[in-house]
Amino acid sequence: MEELKNRILKDGKAKADGGIVLVNGFLNHQLDPKLMMHCAEEFARIFKDKGINKIVTIEASGIAPAILTGYLMDLPVVFIKKKLSSTMGETWQSWVRSFTRNEKVPVCVDRRFLTADDRVVFIDDFLAGGHAAGSVIDICRQAGATIVAMGFLVEKSFSGGGDFLRGHGIPYHSLAVVRRIREDDSIELE
């Protein structure tokens, strides 16, 4: 998606040391609503004929594109929480390694909202090593839900997440792919 790629090149920052791509000025801290809607429109176009009945995301940065995509596709959106709430009933649970916090955190979803009747697409802001996607795969398998596809705003292809998903036989689409971060901290896109 050219609009997103151009915005990453214009306003994104990177740190070669650590492989970090910072898009927090427009994607995952401060949001550009028009850009987010255009990303959701692209996801809705890509996933419209896949027979899905639910969109799944994980706290927190995937919520905005997932909700907008759900709105456009007229589908419910379920987000996997990083903390167990007293309002939740029985849950499906897994663990995810947080790239930004460098720690494993528990994740869960109420069993009422993810079942064997669900055909889902998972939407998130980043695909790096595949850790969040792996926890979603685990939770969906526990629930018996079918993962039809996954969608990511930005993929860091050098981090191995794409290989991880292909190894699990899960089709996915990334709207922008970072090929590498150069030594001068500039971003190279595919």
Report pLDDT digits (tens) over 54-100: 999 998 889 999 999 999 999 999 999 987 777 788 999 999 987 66
Coil, helix or strand for 169?
coil
* Mean predicted lDDT score pLDDT of the chain: 94
C-alpha distances (whole Å) from 125 to each of 4, 66, 90, 110, 183 are 12, 9, 27, 22, 24
Band (123; pLDDT cuts 50, 70, 90):
very high
Q: Which domains does the chain have, with CATH numbers?
A: 2-189 (3.40.50.2020)
- Residue 15 CB neighbour total at 10 angstroms: 11
23 pLDDT higher than 80 = yes
At what angle are helices 2-11 and 33-47 packed, to 10 degrees? 140
